[in-house]
Chain A
């Protein structure tokens, strides 16, 4: 790979040391395991304090999309893509709706996967299985996007040899990730997240300083845009785009709060207090991460003209390439930033991989295929599942490399994930919410979202209906079915299936 990319031996030694540290942490995580159980492997024994919890939440939430997708979209759209900063905070706001109630419940009732709550709360195998499938599909979409970004990270720096670098990037980084992830489970992944979170945080700050040093103040970049490009890139979003802003805030806010890997980090917190402290810090992270990626997009728009379509997702890599060629100092800083990019990608991808594996094993395999399986057997199968999932998605990432822009992938994932919101966000607070209406609502919501997203309708512009994402239309119908259906059943005095969760909550 060193023959392909314009990095020297020193840089590759640095990357190799960094990646070796991740593998070492995987091995240490394996040695630190306390028992051969799902809870130990997937939740690290529920012992994360503030420091580890905050950094694992941060490294997991800020992904390859933050770095490449946001920069690329800002490059295409200009200042109106400021919405990316807003929707990352919306995720933390929506966490509050259910996280502080779910965490103690998970500890008390031994939840490992997000669907454990749904199974416990609603006592429905059909609802739990459908919720698992939705989460696995949405998360596989997310993992695929991360793998594709790994390839593009190398492609953008490789110049003419980009295609080969893309394939090496996807395969090599996926392999390292799956090794340390299956060695040490969430414990290893969270420890690597601590390193990755720190590298990512420093990387973003260095990136900002580098832009100022290399290209001058942002006012100069804005002047270039004002003189050479469409003025709409500087102006307030037009009215249809304001609808899109609201849509993104709701869709990403609700969907992002329901990321299975984020819910499993809530489960792994030592206490609610540690979770509250971590979320308080997370509330300020958009300013030191996605806002900087947005500013880099503005610099790229001004100084790297001519990137079109999916190539615009390489805006970040292209601007780094310019900096890298200017001086040794610039080169050294790009090496550091590239490490931060790898950190963002791998810390998100490994968490998605672990969540998919846990849901497939605990919610599908153990329920439908091997109900009597031991914890040890399930843990072993979970590791095999991680290898299979990452292998299949790596292949798909190579096949689809020219197909989809990163923001397009992001939208479809959230359209699906938000349909779980009534079960989680309403179900945890309102004991009157009934199983049947929630299941009907989920099916209706998914059907509407998918029909609108993929159907041949003339009124769909840029994947949205009158500026709003299909998933939100599905969610409105979904919520209406769940709420009015539950109220109707209650008015007819029809009781839902009794379970221990409801019985205890009524005491």
Chain B
């Protein structure tokens, strides 16, 4: 089995790096504690975290679709 090819299902280092970056954005440690400012009815930290999550969804979908199985 090929251990490095993305087509074999292994995840490469740059993909891991992107996921770590997105994880750091999803968890709102960077947002001031006690801040409850609202935007569109949601606390702003919620919108920041959801935006990062949406980027994660797009990146994941792109990763899934960039390679196709041999019979497809």
Contacts and interface: CB of A to CB of B under 8 A. Distances in A.
Interface in A34-79: 79
Contact of A272 (B1, B33, B58, B72): B72
Interface in B26-56: 26-29, 31-36, 38, 40-43, 45-46, 49-50, 53-54, 56
A104 interface: yes
Given A89-B53, A93-B56, A99 B34 contact: no
A236 B61 contact: no
Interface residue tally on A, bucketed by range:
35 or more
Interface residues on B, range: 35 or more
A220 B38 CA distance: 11
Contact of B28 (A231, A236, A280): A236
Nearest to B31: A236
A235 B71 contact: no
Contacts of B1: 101, 431, 505
A26 interface: no
B65 A249 contact: no
B3 A82 contact: no
B68 A219 contact: no
A17 to B, nearest CB: 35
16 contacts: A86-B49, A86-B53, A101-B9, A217-B41, A222-B38, A222-B41, A222-B42, A235-B33, A238-B33, A245-B27, A271-B72, A273-B68, A277-B64, A280-B61, A283-B64, A429-B10
Given A96-B11, A96-B63, A219-B40, A82 B49 contact: yes
A93 B19 contact: yes
> Which 7 A-B residue pairings sit nearest by Cβ, starting from the closest?
A273-B72, A219-B41, A272-B69, A101-B9, A100-B9, A218-B41, A280-B64
B71 to A, nearest CB: 5
A279 interface: yes
B33 A236 contact: yes
A464 interface: no
A237 B64 contact: no
A284 B56 CA distance: 9
